Amino acid sequence: MAIYDYSVKDKNDNEISLGEYKGKVLLIVNTASKCGFTSQYEGLEKIYEKYKEQGFEVLAFPCNQFGAQEPGSQEEIQSFCSLNFGTQFPIFKKIDVNGSSATPLYEYLKKEAPGIMGTKAIKWNFTKFLVDKEGKVVKRFAPKDKPEELSADIEKLL
């Protein structure tokens, strides 16, 4: 399996093949609206705007598994992100990233880029995965890693 073999649901519950993103550098992030890291939406939007013309995409996946910090409906999540952070990158349907109900995409990401000391579980909101133009998961970033700090890694892949 490769990242392009996976499909996800968009905000309107439509099935989207990640194959649509072939040839682009991706930053895949599990997000939440009521988290101490929520302000990272601003940084995500800034790097998206900075690099999108060069073939970069941010793919956000709301998740309510950490402290129930994403309790809203899909509409509430979209509205919150748009109004507070002016987000233009895609925010997909809310998912689980850990456990038996984890989406297959996140099972793949965790296998390809384990965390510290080989741990696979996502520890918190705003864990980030950087994927190159060939669909290879090249790096995993911790929630505390701010999006604006990822520029050098992104530029290497563009």
Q: What's at 63, amino acid-wise?
A: C
Taking the model in full, what pTM does it have? 0.95
Average pLDDT for residues 127-147, to the nearest whole number?
A: 96
**The predicted structure's pLDDT at residue 67:** 93
Q: Rg of the chain over CA atoms, in angstroms?
A: 14
Q: Which of 35, 60, 113, 137 is catalytic?
A: 35
Residue 156 in tokens: 């290497």
pLDDT at 15 over 90: yes
Q: Per-residue pLDDT tens for 89-101?
A: 999 999 999 999 9
Residue 88 in tokens: 């233009």
Q: Is the dihedral of CA 150, 137, 112, 60 positive or negative?
A: positive
Contact assessment for residue 59 and residue 92, using Cβ atoms and an 8 Å cutoff: yes
Distance between CA atoms of residues 44 and 56, nearest Å:
11
pLDDT at 131 over 90: yes
Distance between CA atoms of residues 38 and 60, nearest Å:
12
Distance between CA atoms of residues 155 and 158, nearest Å:
5
pLDDT at 1 over 80: no
The answer to whether residue 35 is catalytic is yes
Q: What's at 83, amino acid-wise?
A: L
Structural domains in the chain plus CATH codes? 3-157 (3.40.30.10)
Question: Which of these, 125, 112, 7, lies nearest to 60 by C-alpha position?
Answer: 125
